[in-house]
Amino acid sequence: MKKQRTCVFKCASCGHEEPKWLGRCPECGEWNTLIETAVNSRSSPAGLTSPGSRGKGEAPQSLPLSSVDPQEGSRIGSGIAELDRVLGGGVMKRSAILVGGEPGIGKSTLLLQAAAAAETKGRILYVSGEESAGQVRMRADRLGIMGAAASRIEICCSGNLDDIEAIVNAVRPVILMVDSAQTLRTSEAGLIPGTANQMKFCSYELISWVKEHDAALFLVAHVTKDGLISGPKSLEHMVDTVLYFEGPVSAASDGDCRFLRAAKNRFGSVDEIGIFTMGEQGLSGVENPSLLFLVRREGELPPGVATAAVLEGTRTLLVEIQALTVPAKGAISRVFSDRIDSARVSRVAATLEKHLSLRLSGHDLYVNVAGGIRIAEVGVDLALAAAIYSARTGLPVPAGTALTGELSLAGEIRPVRRIAGRVKTARNLGFERFLAPPGEGVAPGMAVKDIKGAMKLLFT
């Protein structure tokens, strides 16, 4: 029989384990960090306690897919419609959801509001490693969380995994919220707190706990502005759903909109976005966001402005695209656009230059979207082209016009999904003209096949 090992050598820096003492840790490369440690039942190589772990002596088994319980009805409504929409219809039990975003964007606010509104009779444990219980209470008061909603939320202010595990086992929450992953630590994953390894180890333990106990986990992770986020990124593959919370570039100019997007979702699509506004009483969902990204004007539009009808998940949004061209200060003309991918802007500009002989070289091009929403849908191309053309020529796009269509490098306007729905939403919002590739609902005189025809129709 194999001899049971009683001690291992564990790296104080990264938690790596070796059966023999070594001068240098093969995992992280640190010198003299291996320390003799008694074997703990939990510290199998990565602290693994997988969801379906077997008892001793049982043989591994497979089973026919048809005999597996589909776990229907195992979603919990978060009580926040926009959050449920992004999650694909509520919080899936036994799942882990990572909520990433810049500090101050509203992650803690969102979770606390969800804790109060969640459609469950079970308990909700909010673990805060960043704020004191008093601070969380103050926020809850500000959000108007009181009565029964407040009393079923348990709060624990610690980042120590052992403490958290003890409390989790005592409270048995249905939803566990951890704010944030970066504050989690345990001596089992090395002595240095705040390392990526600590965060991964602790997160894994908590993810395993919810999977075994039919609960759900929300894990907050801070992402810094220019961060190629080594930390939270490394958690993405461990969780089931990754949500990113983002806001406008400058709060002053674009209001208080917040957008929740799924970067990964095992239980739903990643197309849907949640739209919120941040106000005095926290976040409120915007159910009908079509008007949020339009600027209401009387009479003629200024040059450089065009309205796109874009699809975000199942909703059509009308968004104002703004463009500005100025003579380039340097030898090279540049594109400044952070709400629409600059590569897309450059491509549309190049297509205009080529097919309409619009002189854009020698000019810097600035592009913005009203309301600060990021647009990646292909249907934005035609409106983007119209805004750039209008900015450069000084000719305004006629008021009451909405546009949709994808632009190919050959200058063709390509069809996009669900044109009829876009036409309908635009009409309901008072847009009389809808320029689009031929499709259902597009008036024959407004159907355009190439960029040349489209610009001619708009500007002459």
Q: Which residues bind Mg ion (CB under 5 A)?
A: 108
Residue 37, exposed/middle/buried by CB under 10 A (0-12, 13-18, 19+)?
Answer: middle
Report the nearest approach of ligand TYD to the CB of residue 111 (Å): 8
Q: How far is the CB of 357 from ligand TYD (least distance, A)?
A: 48
From the CB of 245, what's the least distance to ligand TYD, in Å? Answer: 7
Q: Which of 114, 153, 278, 423 binds ligand TYD (CB under 6 A)?
A: 278
Q: Between vectors from CA 175 to CA 65 and to CA 156, what angle results, nearest 5°?
A: 145
Nearer to Mg ion, 181 or 340 (CB): 181
CB 447, CB 437: distance < 8 Å = yes
Q: Does 282 bind ligand TYD (CB under 6 A)?
A: yes
The one of ligand TYD, Mg ion, none whose footprint includes residue 90, by CB under 5 to 8 A per kind, is none
Examine residue 44 and tell whether it contacts ligand TYD (CB under 6 A).
Answer: no
Q: In a 10 Å sphere around its CB, with 0-12 CB exposed, 13-18 middle and 19+ buried, how is residue 450 labelled? A: middle
429-458: which residues touch ligand TYD (CB under 6 A)? none
Beta bridge partners of 259: 246, 275
Among 26, 29, 89, 104, binds ligand TYD (CB under 6 A): 104
**Nearest-approach distance from CB 414 to ligand TYD, in angstroms:** 39
Determine if 281 is a binding residue for ligand TYD (CB under 6 A).
Answer: yes
Segment lying near ligand TYD (by CB under 6 A), choices 42-50, 103-111, 181-189, 328-336:
103-111
Cβ atoms of 318 and 426 closer than 8 Å: yes
Q: Which does 51 bind (CB under 5 to 8 A by kind): Mg ion, ligand TYD, none?
A: none
Whole-angstrom distance, CA of residue 438 vs CA of residue 448: 7
| Candidate residues 25, 92, 105, 273; the one interacting with ligand TYD per rule CB under 6 A | 105
- Binds ligand TYD (CB under 6 A): choice among 101, 129, 285, 379: 101
For 266-356, list the strands marked E by DSSP.
273-279, 282-285, 305-312, 315-327, 335-337
* Closer by beta carbon to ligand TYD, 101 or else 372: 101
Give the nearer residue to ligand TYD in terms of CB position, either 216 or 283: 283
Per rule CB under 6 A, is residue 227 in the interface with ligand TYD?
Answer: no
CB of 101 to ligand TYD, least distance (A): 5
| Cα(248)–Cα(215) distance, integer angstroms | 33
Stretch 121-140 residues interacting with ligand TYD (CB under 6 A): 139
DSSP H or E run through 262: strand 257-265
User: Judged by CB, which is closer to ligand TYD: 53, or 135?
Assistant: 135
Query: What is the rounded CA–CA span in Å between residue 34 and residue 31?
Result: 8
Shortest reach from residue 252's CB to ligand TYD, in Å = 13
CB 339 within 8 A of CB 308: no
d(CA 134, CA 83): 26
Please give the distance of CA 203 from its chain centroid, rounded to a whole number: 19
32: partner contacted, choices Mg ion, ligand TYD, none (Cβ within 5-8 A by kind): none
Distance, CA of 79 to CA of 451 (rounded, Å):
45
Distance of alpha carbon 154 from the chain centroid: 27
**Smallest distance, Å, CB 156 to Mg ion?**
15
The binder of ligand TYD chosen from 15, 90, 106, 289 (CB under 6 A): 106
| Helix/strand/coil for 19 | coil
Q: For residue 264, what are the CA distances in angstroms to 65, 77, 96, 245, 261?
A: 25, 19, 11, 13, 9
CB of 258 to ligand TYD, least distance (A): 9
Would you give the binding string for ligand TYD spanning residues 159-198, x where CB under 6 A is met? ----------------------------------------
Nearer CB in complex with ligand TYD: 106/303: 106
310 with 316: CB under 8 angstroms? yes
CA separation for the pair 159, 167 (Å, rounded): 12
The residues of the shown chain that bind ligand TYD, judged by CB under 6 A, are 101, 103-109, 139, 142-143, 278, 280-282
